[in-house]
Structure 1
Amino acid sequence: MRVAIVGPFAFWPKATVSRRAFPLALSLAERGHQVALFVAPFDDPARSGKTVSVRGIPVVNVPTGPDSALNRLVVPVRLALAVSRWRPDVVHTFKVAGYAATAGLYLRLIGRFPWVLDADDLEGSGGWADVNGYGPLTTRLIDLQERHLPRLAGAATAASRFLGAQLVRWGVKADRVFYLPNGPVPPGA
């Protein structure tokens, strides 16, 4: 099976891709699946547009360009196009809001690939939006994505039982929510 894993930001310095998505990618590859990671490295611009291999897993860094309102719309399209060209059997996006989630929505709208969405944190109100001091408009947009996109995915994974229950409270059918705790981080990740 060809599995595309889509991350919301660079492999480094943040942990979602390197500590959550990548261990899953390695585990799938060790079981014989073809896996590629697709990321939007706005937080590591030197990698923008480059493909690297990490322990045999290709990491495709789509071009991000400077931070702008236009690029916030264009980068998810670039992610979706890169994934689509790779022709996966399934797409697993990480984070319920932002670039990866929006790319998952685009892929869902064109109807070509089964989509699984991962929740590893609360992102909007009561979560990272509050911690990072995002303004009310940004927080509202994140809330909209966080509460509605998981219902559009074919399935959802959750890093904790709490997040899994939260997804169900937001309307995801319980039989489509799967507990996927963080696994051990492989050496060199």
Structure 2
Amino acid sequence: MRILLLTHGRAWESGTFVRALSLGKALAALGHAVTLLSARRDAGRAPLCTELDGVRTVQMPGLLAARVRGGGLSPDELLARLRFLHGQAFDVIHCFEHRPTVALSARFLCRNDHAVLVRDWADLWGANGYADSRSFLMRHLLGKVDHYGERAFTRRADGVTVISRYLHAETLRLGVDPDRICYLPVGATPPAVPPPDKATARRQLGLPVARHLLLYIGIYHHDIEMLIAMLPHLLAQAPDAQLVLVGPGLLHTVARLEAAGLGDHVLHVGQIAHAELGAWLAAGDVMLLPYVNNVVNVARFPQRFGDYIAAGRPIVTNPTGDLGALVRAQGIGVLAADNPVEFAATVARLLADPVQMRAMGRRAFDLAHGAFSWQTLGARVLAFYAGLMA
């Protein structure tokens, strides 16, 4: 098959880009021709073309601010996409979200082609979702556009992949036939080269060998407030614990922790290359994934889950959405109540039980190589495509 993956996010900085690329690599490994279009990471006038594990990736040109380009709202990028796609033919067009640079590009192609149009729904953008946290003006402008767009695009697509059971139910409520829906959670891509063992990884990275290291990977998100509030309570029970923050946009979080006198227990790594991530994950004892109970979190599924299970480490999270249900059902971590004191106590109890930690880590590792590997999920999506084309 000739498969086109469209995402509005900037290359490497957007969760939808990582999701689309991960699926694309799995589809390419199964012998299919895959092209992935995204926004450029940096503004520029020319497309940037590369090949990654069989996936032709094209970062489309755009000159507007990063927030506009990465938000799928850039008119100059949309025109560049239309020019680039003119005359090309695909069997499947898989759209990751609904913003104009994605939806209008797909509709342009489908006017002159018989491609199957698939929509991936991975976040709740409109009312009851991200729109509710925006300013009054943006909530009533962009929020209404998102609310209409994500639902209208879902109805018009030939098929829909959904990241959560919540969005599966929403898709059914929109009148989509159940046979046209495919559940596609976050997957894992185990490294081709096994990461070093914990002690070796720590020596390579210059980390203390004897301390308990707790990893949080990602950008700033309101859920990180749980970590900020829980750390003093954790240190009262596990004084050797150190919080390792990996990702961009966390300097303000680090400054707040330092102002609270917790700087000696926090290491901010910043943004690192994906190729280096495996060593940092291998160095950790526990993966932290605070995930408070709200509709936005119930609807989505955090991308870093795949990295966590591929590392073979236990996860501490909250009993929210598909993530909480999966962690409980698969025995790959522990669930904490939605408050800092209980979250800290849950982490401390896990750190005090190395046998349980190892068992949970092994189950997570097996899950990453089995049902939740992108190879397994890619085969599922491929069968879904075939069913839509039949």
Which bracket does the TM-score occupy, shorter chain normalised? 0.7 to 0.9
- The 3 A distance-change label for structure 1 pair 78 and 186 is farther
Unaligned 5+ segments in structure 2 are 192-273, 276-390
Q: Distance in 2 between matches of 1:153 and 1:183?
A: 23
Q: Which of the pair is proportionally richer in helix?
A: 2
Deviation at 1:56, TM superposition (A): 3.3
**Counterpart in 2 of 1:167?**
171
Is 1:117 the equivalent of 2:100?
Answer: no
Q: Relative to 1, partners in 2 of residues 1:146 and 1:138: Cα closer, same or farther, differing over 3 Å?
A: same
Question: Which structure is richer in relative contact order (CA contacts within 8 A, separation 6 or more)?
Answer: 1
User: Which sits farther off after the overlay, 48-57 or 9-18?
Assistant: 48-57
SS of residue matched to 2:9: coil
Counterpart-to-counterpart distance in 2, 1:186 and 1:73: 37
Shift of residue 160, structure 1, vs aligned partner: 0.9
Asked whether the 8 Å contact 2:63–2:76 carries over to 1, the reply is no
Aligned counterpart for 1:148 among listed residues 144, 149, 152: 152
Distance 1:145-1:84 versus aligned 2 partners, 3 A rule? same
What is the TM-score with the length of structure 1 in the denominator? 0.84
Residue 142 (structure 2) pairs with residue 138 (structure 1) = yes
Larger Rg belongs to: 2
TM-score normalized by structure 2?
0.43
Give the number of aligned pairs.
185
- What stretches of structure 1 of length at least 5 have no aligned partner? none
CA distance in 2, matches of 1:118, 1:47: 28
Taking only the aligned residue pairs, the percentage that are identical comes to 30
**C-alpha separation between the residues in 2 aligned to 1:52 and 1:129?**
34
**In 1: Cα distance, 2:115 partner to 2:22 partner:** 22
> What is the 5 A alignment of 1:1-189?
1-18=1-18, 20-41=19-40, 44-45=42-43, 49-67=47-65, 72-133=74-135, 134-185=138-189, 187=191, 188=274
CA RMSD of aligned residues (A): 2.4
Cα drift, residue 172 of structure 1: 2.1
* C-alpha displacement of 1:97: 3.1
Q: Contact between 1:8 and 1:101, CA under 8 Å: does it hold in 2?
A: no
Task: Verify the 8 A CA contact 2:45 2:62 in the aligned structure 1.
Answer: no
Q: Please give the alpha-carbon distance, in whole angstroms, between the structure 2 residues aligned to 1:128 and 1:48.
A: 32
8 A Cα contact 2:45 2:63, kept in partner: no
Who is 2:324 aligned against?
Answer: none
Deviation at 1:16, TM superposition (A): 1.1
Q: Secondary structure at the match of 1:122?
A: coil
Q: Which amino acid aligns with 1:79?
A: R
**Deviation for aligned residue 1:11:** 1.9
- Distance across 2 between alignment mates of 1:106 and 1:97: 14
State the alpha-carbon separation in 2 of the partners of residues 105 and 35 from structure 1.
19
Aligned equivalents of 1:66 and 1:15: distance in 2?
21
Divergent runs of 4+, >4 A: 186-189
